[in-house]
Structures are given as C-alpha cells and as structure tokens.
Chains A and B, each alone.
Chain A
Amino acid sequence: MLGRGALLAALASRLGELHEWRSRPAVQQAITGLHMDADAAAAAAQDDDEVVAKIVAHWRMRVAELIDSLGADAVERTVLEEAHALAERAVAEDPFRDLFDQVSLAASRLYADAWQPPVLELEKLIEHPRTPDPNDPYGLTASLARNGEPQVVMQIHHDGLGPAAFAAIPSLLAHECVCHVSARQRGERCNTSVFAEGFMDWAASYFLTIWMPTIDPHLCPAALEHAESFRALLCRPSTPHGAARMRGRRAAERLAAWLMSERRLPAEEARVKVARLAVDLNACDVELAHKDRLVTHMNAYDYDPLFVQLLTAALEDRERASEIVMMQLH
C-alpha cells in the first residue's frame, strides 16, 4: 500500500488526467499494472526504500512499453509520457501520513485549545467499502475511533487505490478532522445526523478548498475535483446517510445565501462566517439532537425573529454559539 501510495503521490499533478483517460486501453493497462507491480515489489523487497524503487522501476518500464506501442498521435501519449517522467520522483515516504499531518495541522488551528490531536490508522479492506459500482472508483473509507486519543481509521480496498481514490484522500481526511475529531456531543455518534454529516461536511469541503493549494499544489486540482465527485456519490437522497449529508449541506448553503441577501455580506465573507459557525457549534458539548434541530431550521423557508436574533448573536460573538443550539423554537 505504501509503495502504491508513493507512486501515486509522485503522479499527483496528473492523477486527474489518468482517471479521465482510464477507458483508453494503454492508460487502463498502466493503472492495472500499478497494482501488479506493487504486489510483486512488496513480495520481493526487504524494506520500504526497496519496495518503492522496485515499483517505480517496473512501472516505468511498463509505461515505456505502452508508450512505444501507441501511434504518434494517440491522445493518451502525452499523459503517459508525463506520468513516466513524474514516477521517477517517487520517494519511500508515507504519503498517507504526510497528507494526514497537514490536514490535521490545519484543522488544529480551527479548534485551538479544543483540538484533540488524532493519530492515523491504515487498514486494508478485502472488499470495496460500498456496493461495487463502476462509477465508484473510490475504494476507501474513513471513520473515527476513540481509544483514549482520537484515531482516524482509513480503510483502503486492496485493488481500490487508483488515481481517483488517491485524489479523494484529502477530502476524506478533511471530513474526519473537521467534522469528528474535536466534535463535542456528549459522546454520541450518529452517521445520519444532518449536523455532523451534512452541515459540518460543508465546512470541511470549504476548508479543503482553501487549504489544498498549500497542502499540495500538485495534487490540488485532482483533489478538489474528486472531492466533489466522491461527495456526489455519497449524497444520495434515498439513503439516510446520504439524505443527512444533502440536507445539512443545503442548510449551510441556505444560511450563506441568507447572509448575502438579507445581511448584504459579500459571498466569501458569508461562507467564512458559516464555516466558523460550524466549528463553534461543533465545539459545543450538546447532544446531536439539538444541533440537528438547529440545522434543520436553517433550511426553513422563512427565519422567525427569535431565530434571526440568536443567529445574529452567534455569528457576531463566538462565545454565544451555544445559545442558538439550545433555543426553543416553539
């Protein structure tokens, strides 16, 4: 897994194109070959350095042969040539931990004293984490466990770590770090909460957009594109988890639109305010039921005066975020 990740990290700036051209036989063979070369190298090598060196050598040879077999004007020639050159830069460092450390550092600044430093655990999955689907190239998932300290557990399907899945890793880590690591909700867990899985997910997406250029400028375009595609897969209205994501995210957008239209705030300022409110609410130690009620009310067609008053106070003064969570709407 490390070797495969190291090679994909080296290809970061071309992951989007490799995924886009995956139906072309040569690109498809290059991606499949990556899995085979990684398995062969892992079986033969003594240490991480040797694993990565062997994968890179085998894969570059494979890609060179594929390029030679292509016609001069084949559309996939350029992307394979670029990938061949980039692969040489692969180093035997853990790319998963590197991404995790950077996302975690950025999230820690949001939560300041409320931040609980997490650790990353990698696990292999023998099956795709969701129903296998040709339109779901994201063979990974993540969750948060608490064993004294928070543990972000990222599970990766053995054959599922391709260009798209690697590009989606930052969004997965941002979701866990922003939404769950420092969440205070009386120890409750609920993966159908509109607050925890939807409203907070919107904030995680927002932060990923602004953090990614600094975290890894090469990976940034593919990471943002695949964050969006991965999210679209997860936001299915017919499942309770997907529906919660949709409604919570919609509530965040509704609140941002309200700040723009009713409070005449510039769009970007409105988004930062919503993202900040999400962080403040997440740090309030209140049952999820109350946070879910608040988020559901944000989707209302009209905001009543009491709600506007509490909302304004929470947006103006971070110390008052808990008041709006405990409001009595009726």
Chain B
Amino acid sequence: MERLRILTAAVALSEFTVAELCAYSGANESTVRSVLQRDSELLERLDSQEQSGAGRPRGRYRVRDTASIRHELRQFEQNIEMLGAARLEQLPPETTDDRLAALIVAEDTVVRAWDADADGHTRRALAETALESAAQANPPGQGSSATDDELRARAASVSVLADLALRETTLSASDLARANDSLSRLVDVLAPDRLQRLLAAFGRAVAGPRATAPPSTVDLPDDAIYTTAEVEKVAIDIRDRHQVMALA
C-alpha cells in the first residue's frame, strides 16, 4: 500500500526529489529510498548532465514507466470500487447550498472589485470572478421555486454591478440607473458591513472621474465611513428613489 502511494506520487510529480516524494506520499525517507532502489525499472535517477542543464537541485529522480504504474494503480482502484466504494471519478451534483455559496462568493467579490484599492487589472479579475460565480449560482435549467427565484434575482443584481466594474470608460447616466436598481435589490440581502463597503466604493466611483455627470440618483459623500444606521438610511433612500424613478 505504501509502495503504491509512493509510486502514485512519483507518477503525478513526474520528476522529483526524495523530500518531495516524502511530502506527496506521506512516507518516511527510508521507505522512499527503499522503493527508489527496489523499483528501479519504474523510477530512475536523473544523470548529472541533465540536472546541471536544467539548473535544478541535485538528487532528482523521474518516472521511467508511467504506463505500468498507472496500470497497477487502476487495478487497485478498480478493486476498491468492486468492494462497494462509489465511483471515484464522480463529483456529486451541485446542491442549493453550493449555488448559495457561489452567490455569496459573487457578492463578496463584487464588493472587492468596487473597492477603491483595486487597480485596473485586479478590478477586472475580481469583476470577472463575480460574473462567473454569479452565473454558477444561476445555471441554466433551474426551477422556479422561491429559492431559485431569489438566487436568480440576486445573481442578476450582482452581475450588473460586476459588469459596471468591468467598464474601462466612464459611467453614463443609464449605468448609474442600472447600478441604482441593482443596489436597491441587494439592500435587504447583503450583510450591513458588505453593503456599507459597496455603497462607499460606489459612492467614490460616482464622485470620481468614472462618472460623466453629477449623480442624479445616488448621492454619497466621498470616502465616508458609515454607521449601520446611516447605511440603512442611504439604502432606503436609494430604494425610495428607485421606486420614484420606476413610477416616473
């Protein structure tokens, strides 16, 4: 069993030192050295010329016969499966909890994207992550239960904010309206501290060079630190204005 674990680590690493093989197999050094010696038809030491050429540390080994090791390993795993274990390659289908987790990651990441410290590349990477995670929270073919509907609505709102964070150009009045709409939908579901971060970041963006005109729908002071009560007040204000806009 320990020999097979060492061979498995060897074939996965392809090229390795004794210390690496110990770390990736869990075996102690003497056992690893013993396998290297006994299974010399499967594993070999790299010669000194190759080592110096690659600029790699001394004492490296590599696998000589990948196919034989994999064959042995597959047989072992097939025996395990025959003993009643689940098929090893199967990944359980995503549950509602998985989708909720994807949504929470999307919401958290969009806050990080809007964070003022994020530079252009970082903001882009975070916004793309938020978009992809939101899409994973709302895969095609989901049902229409209350949970599905809530996940779908929240994912859509996060996607709008992530999409706006991706913009290289300044935000237009219609962008602000879309952001306003999405923020108002997230007011009741985001944790206060995250909503506070998002509002502050969005306020900075609106007050900064990304906005083309003074905001007509969201008006937040730059670099403000909000108390929870203030955040709630601002959030309610946004929602009310959104409703007024919708009525208009």
Q: Is the interface of B mostly helix, strand, loop or mixed?
A: helix
Are B26 and A247 in contact (CB-based, < 8 A)? no
A110 / chain B contacts, CB cutoff of 8 Å: 20, 23-24
Are A240 and B104 in contact (CB-based, < 8 A)? yes
- Chain B, Cβ-Cβ closest to A113: B57
Are A253 and B125 in contact (CB-based, < 8 A)? no
Interface residues of A in 212-259 (CB under 8 A from B): 212-214, 237-240, 242-244, 246-247, 250, 253-254, 257
A257 / chain B contacts, CB cutoff of 8 Å: 89-91
Instruction: Fill in one digit per residue for B38-72: 1 if any A CB lies within 8 Å of its CB, else 0.
Output: 00000000000000000001000000000000100
Which of A10-18, A26-34, A91-99, A290-298 forms part of the interface with chain B?
A290-298
Which of B127-135, B200-208, B225-233 forms part of the interface with chain A?
B127-135
Are B20 and A293 in contact (CB-based, < 8 A)? no
Q: How far is the CB of B8 from chain A (nearest CB, A)?
A: 5
- Chain A, Cβ-Cβ closest to B5: A210
Q: How far is the CB of B128 from chain A (nearest CB, A)?
A: 6
Are A273 and B20 in contact (CB-based, < 8 A)? no
B98 / chain A contacts, CB cutoff of 8 Å: 237, 246-247, 250
- Chain A, Cβ-Cβ closest to B12: A272
- A217–B179 Cα gap in the complex (Å)? 56
- Chain B, Cβ-Cβ closest to A272: B12
- Chain B, Cβ-Cβ closest to A253: B91
Q: Given A244-B108, A269-B11, A301-B139, does the pair A276, B101 have CB atoms closer than 8 Å?
A: no
Are B108 and A243 in contact (CB-based, < 8 A)? yes
Listed residue (B8, B12, B26, B118) with the most chain A CB atoms within 10 angstroms of its CB? B12
A300 / chain B contacts, CB cutoff of 8 Å: 132, 136
Q: Is the interface of A mostly helix, strand, loop or mixed?
A: helix
Listed residue (A106, A213, A257, A268) with the most chain B CB atoms within 10 angstroms of its CB? A268
- Chain B, Cβ-Cβ closest to A237: B101
B27 / chain A contacts, CB cutoff of 8 Å: 214
Q: How far is the CB of B131 from chain A (nearest CB, A)?
A: 9
Interface size class of B (residues with CB under 8 A): 35 or more
- A257–B136 Cα gap in the complex (Å)? 18
Are A106 and B104 in contact (CB-based, < 8 A)? no
B102 CB contact (under 8 Å) in A247, A254, A292, A329? A247
- A267–B89 Cα gap in the complex (Å)? 7
Interface residues of A in 254-294 (CB under 8 A from B): 254, 257, 260-261, 265-269, 272-273, 275-276, 287, 289-290, 292-293
Q: Count contacts between A and B, CB distance < 8 Å.
A: 142
- A210–B25 Cα gap in the complex (Å)? 6
- A79–B136 Cα gap in the complex (Å)? 47
Interface residues of A in 81-113 (CB under 8 A from B): 106-107, 109-110, 112
Are B125 and A268 in contact (CB-based, < 8 A)? no
B89 CB contact (under 8 Å) in A260, A276, A293, A297? A260
Number of A interface residues in the complex (CB < 8 A): 52
Are B12 and A329 in contact (CB-based, < 8 A)? no
B100 / chain A contacts, CB cutoff of 8 Å: 237-238, 243
Are B73 and A109 in contact (CB-based, < 8 A)? no
Are A268 and B136 in contact (CB-based, < 8 A)? no
Are B133 and A247 in contact (CB-based, < 8 A)? yes
A254 CB contact (under 8 Å) in B17, B23, B91? B91
Are A213 and B101 in contact (CB-based, < 8 A)? no
- Chain B, Cβ-Cβ closest to A195: B129
- Chain A, Cβ-Cβ closest to B70: A266
- Chain A, Cβ-Cβ closest to B118: A289
Q: Taking the complex as formed, is B13 at the interface, i.e. its CB lies under 8 A from any CB of chain A?
A: yes
- Chain A, Cβ-Cβ closest to B72: A266
Are A292 and B139 in contact (CB-based, < 8 A)? no
A330 / chain B contacts, CB cutoff of 8 Å: 128
25 pairs across A/B with beta carbons < 8 Å? A107-B23, A110-B23, A209-B26, A212-B26, A214-B28, A237-B104, A240-B105, A243-B104, A244-B108, A247-B105, A250-B94, A257-B91, A260-B88, A266-B74, A268-B5, A268-B8, A276-B13, A276-B24, A287-B122, A292-B125, A292-B129, A293-B132, A296-B132, A299-B133, A329-B128
Chain B residues with CB under 8 Å of chain A are 5, 8-9, 11-14, 17, 19-20, 22-28, 57, 70, 73-74, 77, 88-91, 94, 97-98, 100-105, 107-109, 112, 118, 121-122, 125-126, 128-129, 132-133, 136, 139, 191, 194
**The 8 nearest A-B residue pairs measured at CB:** A210-B26, A272-B12, A260-B89, A109-B23, A267-B88, A243-B104, A237-B101, A243-B101
Chain A residues with CB under 8 Å of chain B are 106-107, 109-110, 112, 190, 192, 194, 207, 209-214, 237-240, 242-244, 246-247, 250, 253-254, 257, 260-261, 265-269, 272-273, 275-276, 287, 289-290, 292-293, 296-297, 299-301, 316, 329-330
> With A237-B101, A272-B24 given, can you name 18 additional A-B contacts, CB distance below 8 Å?
A107-B23, A192-B112, A194-B105, A238-B104, A239-B104, A240-B108, A244-B105, A250-B101, A268-B8, A276-B12, A287-B121, A289-B129, A290-B121, A292-B109, A292-B125, A292-B126, A296-B129, A300-B132
